[in-house]
Structure 1
Amino acid sequence: MLSVLKFETSVRLIASLSVIVCALVLLTGWVKGPFGLVMKAGVITLIVTLLLLPLYNKKWFHGLYRLIRAEKYVFPVLDGEWRGEIRSNWPLVRKMLAISRGEQSGPFDPLNDDLGQFDWDPPIEVTAIIESGFLDFKMTMCMDGTTRRSETLNAKLDRTETGSPRLRYIYRQFDEGLDIAPTDRESHLGSAELTLSDDGKTLNGRYWTDRVSDKGLNTAGRLVLRRVEAPAK
């Protein structure tokens, strides 16, 4: 998780641990004054490193994370299963493509027509698994009933201007074992920006893809995920 937090937050966490170690060293009388700390810098660095090693075990990391109540001032733990739905703008893109090819009659003006009466596709049901550790963050998402899946390539955890936790990530989707249509690709890149609700149970936001972007057919839409299982304690 450290690698996906803001740089300032990561530095603050490591600096806080170093200060605690230095304070303990001074209190025990092992060194005398700041000059003594400088002389023992190598040993203190080794101590800090040894203290960090257990954090590479995910269970220990999450245990300590909760013990120091880091969820309150750093970022909530998102680990666990999430389920929700995707609502894509693909029906709009598909209709404009069909009209341009003479397969449907026009006119169609998405800027001025009443899209509330538009024939939208049903939402796509998805299941996501989020896993995080001291230095890693991984989110895998599958479209229910298909072999389509996506995996995060990069992620960033921060907060909005109002202080709400926010997840922003880049992913690659794989459409394996499918008959790929001319308007699709075997894999494509995408990004999303999701905000966590106040109760920590819902991630809600938008996503964008580069699917067939060279033909102007890339898509975007809304993504909502609801927590199914709370992270293990």
Structure 2
Amino acid sequence: MVAIIAWLTLMVVLGVNSSRALLEGIGLTAGLSLTVAIVQFIFMLVFITPAWRTIWRWVPKLNEWIYPDLNGDWDVELKSNFPRIDALLKSAKGDAPPLDFRGNESLLPEFGTYKMRARIRQSWAEIEMELWNPAATGPINESKTLIVEPFRGKGGRHGLAYVFEQANETDVVSDDSKFRGAAWIERDRDDVNVFCGRMWTDRMWRLGMNTAADLRFTRQPSKRLSRRG
């Protein structure tokens, strides 16, 4: 942010100096006070109002150079390890053949795939995100984010780290219907409209059966960025 303000101030100073004769002709003094006023006006217009999103659309590279505009709806896919935890429990009870999780992974159950929807509201002051299960398939009801923290990555691979609280439908007494977790997602190397990462939870942690999942956020088509962004 400091670098942006410094660059903006430099551009304004150059612009004011080059327009000195014109400004003085209309009664304005081309001095420090005018430069500060112009910088403050531009800063407020761009960073306090939603006008910055228009500039980001005009100059898609800003999504890489500074930080991407994440506002809008996203399709979310979770690939959870819960089916493997469930298989281990059945094996331990004798309801299924013995399983060696350190052996051939191809013999283990597939990860459970669940579809969700995310909505992100972003400004220069904060980022808010909500996730829900629109099709009501699988056990997940909703996931409420408690803390969302953006981070900048190398080569424009920026992302989000967040803490969430998830509510599940479950009839199993030993299972947790509500639990918390954390996630880390970053921009895909080849597709600017995709963020990938992983989540971890404290679900059933007292029983040593914490869950985890791969995450894939895909921007909905109406809000997609060009590959230049």
Unaligned runs of 5+ in 1: 1-9
- Give me the whole-angstrom Cα distance separating, in 1, the residues matched to 2:212 and 2:157: 22
Matches within 5 A, 1:51-90: 51-55=42-46, 56-58=48-50, 60-69=51-60, 70-90=62-82
Contact 2:202 2:211 in 1 (8 A): yes
1:44-97 Cα shifts (integer Å, max 9, x gaps): 545433322223222x12012233442353233333222132111112223334
Partner amino acid, structure 2, of 1:85: E
Opposite residue 144 of structure 2, the aligned amino acid is S
Give the % identical residues: 20
Q: Considering Cα pairs closer than 8 Å and 6+ residues apart, tell me whether 1 or 2 has the greater RCO.
A: 1
Residue 221 of structure 1: how far off its partner (Å): 1.8
Report the counterpart of residue 119 of structure 2 in structure 1: 129
Structure 2 vs 1, CA of residues 152 and 14 (structure 1 numbering), >3 Å: closer, same or farther? farther
Deviation at 1:21, TM superposition (A): 2.6
Amino acid at match of 1:126: M
Give the TM-score, by structure 2 length. Answer: 0.74
Q: Give me the whole-angstrom Cα distance separating, in 2, the residues matched to 1:174 and 1:139.
A: 13
CA distance in 2, matches of 1:134, 1:217: 38
CA contact (8 A) 1:190 1:210 kept: no
- CA, structure 1 residues 178+17, in 2 after alignment: closer, same or farther (shift >3 Å)? farther
Q: 1:142 to 1:121 in 2, by over 3 A?
A: same
2:46 aligned with 1:50, yes or no? no
Establish whether residue 173 from structure 1 lines up as the match of residue 150 from structure 2.
Answer: no
Residue 18 of structure 2 is matched in structure 1 by: 27
Question: 8 Å contact 1:174–1:186 — kept in the other structure?
Answer: yes
Q: How many aligned positions are there? A: 211
Cα distance change of structure 1 residues 200 and 152 upon mapping to structure 2, 3 Å threshold: farther
- For 2:189 and 2:119, how far apart are their aligned partners in 1? 18
Q: Structure 2: which amino acid aligns with 1:172?
A: F
CA contact (8 A) 2:78 2:114 kept: yes
- What does residue 224 of structure 1 align with? 216
| Matches of 2:149 and 2:221, distance apart in 1 | 21
Q: Does 1:147 align with 2:127?
A: no
1:12 matched to 2:6? The reply is no
Quote the offset at 1:19 in angstroms: 2.1
State the Cα RMSD in Å. Answer: 3.1
